Structure 1
Amino acid sequence: MSNPATVIAAGGVVWRERNGTRQVLLVHRPRYDDWSLPKGKLTPHEHVLIGARREIEEETGQQVVLGPSLGVQRYTVRKNGGTADKLVHYWSATADEDAEFEPNSEVDKVAWLSVDEARDRLSYPRDVDILDCLGRVVPVVATLVLLRHAQAVKRKEWESKDTVRPLDTTGTGQAERLTGVLAALGVNKIISSDAERCVATVTPYAASIDRHIHLWPEISERGFGADADAVRGLADKAWKPGKVTVVCSHRPVLPALAREFGLRVGKFSPGAFLVAHRLGDGRLIYERFGAP
């Protein structure tokens, strides 16, 4: 008997550099007596990035920042007396600082090991495959999050100036949930159009980390309509080495911004975003996400 519902999970390869050696963090699960990468199932309606960060912290005690994707595992698990497909998303992850691990019923031991030692210690070949992807996506020089503002009150329902048109109830919820997403990505620089709906989208996160929002009128609909060439030269201000920058703008402006930033971009629904990483070898890698 098979259960058609797919189990969605997320986790990461937590890594650090020590004395010129790259180390990764593995967890031991007493229930299975195995060594694996930290991961776990998402809670209902949880964004996959938030779930990955939460599961890593719960299993290792490390509060991490997520970097580039390391791929997806697909395999079958037992569920409700039958079987179900399991889909596990992995990201590279760096810890802000060392944290003390407290053993629990799910994970009783953790170990920092060199990549070669970890490859030998891991219990599952599929985890080795994910680990082997780490070297292809680090180091990251800079990260850029290109974001469309959350859902706003419809134009036809708003009688005042468009620049002060606010988020609606759905959009306010999206902005609040984006706080966890941007935290998982380690965003530390915030840029926004000066339109109210963009500013309101990033304000909850800015408040949570006590950071200033840099307003760029030229990436508002009004500013872009007045001078479409004004977005030229903004890439150098957005791509900052060592920074994780979010840029919040509008649907008509995003294609031009993407071209300026060196990205390929399609349509964005309200609250959707793209995460791009510039690697040490000059490559750009990125992935798209829907609104949280």
Structure 2
Amino acid sequence: MLDSVSTGPTVDGGAPVAVRAAGALCWRITKKQLQVLIIHRPRYDDWSWPKGKLDAGETLPECAVREVREEVGLAITLGVLLPSITYAVKTGTKEVHYWAAESNGLPPLADGKEVDGVLWCSPEKAMELLSNPSDKIPLQALIEAHAAGNLASWPLLILRHAKAKPRSGWTRAEGDRPLAATGQRQALTVARLLTVWHPVRVVTSPWLRCVATVSPHVKSIRAKVKIADALTEAAHARHPRKAAAVVEALFTKRSPVVLCTHRPVLSTVFATLGRHMSKELAALLPTQDPYLAPGEMVVCQVSSADNSTILSVERHKPYDD
């Protein structure tokens, strides 16, 4: 049910993707009953989910959060990944990615342009009202996740530091090797993407290129930072089990967290995370060196009910020039 985000230019069968879009299924528990938020669009006279097309330079998760904010006025944090849908449009194929997003308790407000009506209702009522049959696919997944106790979650993110100055041209201490100009720009876009999940905790290698990668995010929300010496390349080469222990400790506080480290450490990081998920999800984790590109991240949603179980896996690359 829960899979990684597709980032390729085609969908199953090889049809070109002409339009890429993203949205969210906002949900809440009222009187112990699950409710979802659907919207009415006057342009099409239909009932659907908050969603929309990507802006230039925008990632799918950023698009989903922005569209919900613009259409119904809610500031959301993305939860578990739901199935994407595809359908034909005039220019080819439209691909829409969805996430679950727990309501923050504030009332939704239709923007009056794209949306002229909002409705909290039961999933059964939503099944009746949804105009596009394919919109029922992510809803069914959300229903099943709720029934299994796997809907409420918190995000655990693994980030490879942004692009650093070349190792071959650096003659000083390895821990002092800074970000390249590209890496500095990547760090800013990483910070923008991290707002999708609001990680209030940051665990990072003390080496400069890692610290510089997370600094824009830390400064923007005053996140709590923990320096972990075990996450450096040198410490990991000597004692990989200590790096694994740092990863295991991420599960203890049940709050959004991002870990920033180096390419050689990622094999241990992903092997450790793999023990907290199904074989199907573990197969989605990177297995080949370099595992992640500079500035790229893997997002895991951890069950709020079972704090040792990862429910979904995504991979996002926010910037590359």
Fold shared per TM-score above 0.5: yes
Q: 1:180 to 1:121 in 2, by over 3 A?
A: same
Check the 8 A contact 1:143/1:239 in 2, yes or no: no
Match of 1:44 among 56, 66, 69: 56
Aligned to 1:145: 157
Alpha-carbon shift at residue 117 of structure 1 (Å): 1.4
Aligned-pair identity in percent equals: 34
In the TM superposition, residue 241 of structure 1 has moved relative to its aligned partner by 5.1
Which digits, 9 at most, give the CA deviation of each residue in 1:75-122, with x for residues without a partner? 1113xxxx3211111111123341451432211111111111111111
Output one character per residue of 1:164-198: Cα deviation in whole Å (capped at 9) or x when no partner. Answer: 11111211111111122211123121111111111
Please tell me whether the aligned partners of residues 193 and 318 of structure 2 are also in contact (alpha carbons under 8 angstroms): no
CA 260–253 in structure 1, closer or farther in 2 if over 3 Å, else same: same
Q: Deviations over 1:137-172 (max 9, x none)?
A: 433444311111111111122222111111112111
Out of 262, 265, 271, the position equivalent to 2:286 is 265
**Structure 2 counterparts to residues 245-284 of structure 1, below 5 A:** 245-261=257-273, 262=275, 264-266=285-287, 267-279=291-303, 280=305, 282=309, 284=311
Matched, 1:135 2:162: no
Matched-pair contact (CA < 8 Å) for 2:27–2:34: yes
Q: CA deviation at 1:41?
A: 0.2
Aligned residue in 2 for 1:13: 25
Confirm or deny that 1:106 pairs with 2:106.
no
2:183 aligns with one of 148, 171, 175: 171
* Counterparts in 2 of 1:283 and 1:135: CA distance versus 1, 3 Å: farther
Aligned length: 286
The verdict on how the C-alpha distance between 1:26 and 1:9 changes in structure 2, with shifts beyond 3 A counting, is: same
1:206 to 205, 218, 239: 218
Write out per-residue CA displacement over residues 7-66 of structure 1, whole angstroms, 9 at most, x where no aligned residue.
110001011111111111111110111010110000112111111110111111001000
Shift of 1:127: 0.7
Map 1:24-173 to 2 at 5 A.
Answer: 24-78=36-90, 83-137=91-145, 138-173=150-185
- On the 8 A contact 1:148/1:272 being kept in 2, the answer is yes
Contact 1:164 1:197 in 2 (8 A): yes
Q: 1:257 to 1:103 in 2, by over 3 A?
A: closer
The 1:40/1:258 distance shift into structure 2, 3 A limit, reads same
How far apart, CA to CA, are the structure 1 residues paired with 2:240 and 2:17? Answer: 47
User: Which amino acid in structure 2 is aligned with residue 214 of structure 1?
Assistant: K
Which is strand-richer, 1 or 2?
1
| RMSD after superposition | 1.9
TM-score (ref. length: structure 1)? 0.91
Q: For the residues of structure 2 that align with 1:180 and 1:64, how far apart are their CA atoms?
A: 15
Aligned residue identity for 1:46 = E
Structure 1, unaligned stretches of length 5 or more?
Answer: none
Counterparts of 1:128 and 1:65 in 2: how far apart (Å)?
22
Bigger mean CA deviation after superposition, 265-274 or 6-15? 265-274
Point out where structure 2 has 5 or more consecutive residues left out of the alignment: 1-14, 276-281
Shift of 1:283: 5.2
User: Are the equivalent residues in 1 in contact too, given 2:79–2:154 (CA < 8 A)?
Assistant: no
* Alignment pair present for 1:285 and 2:309: no
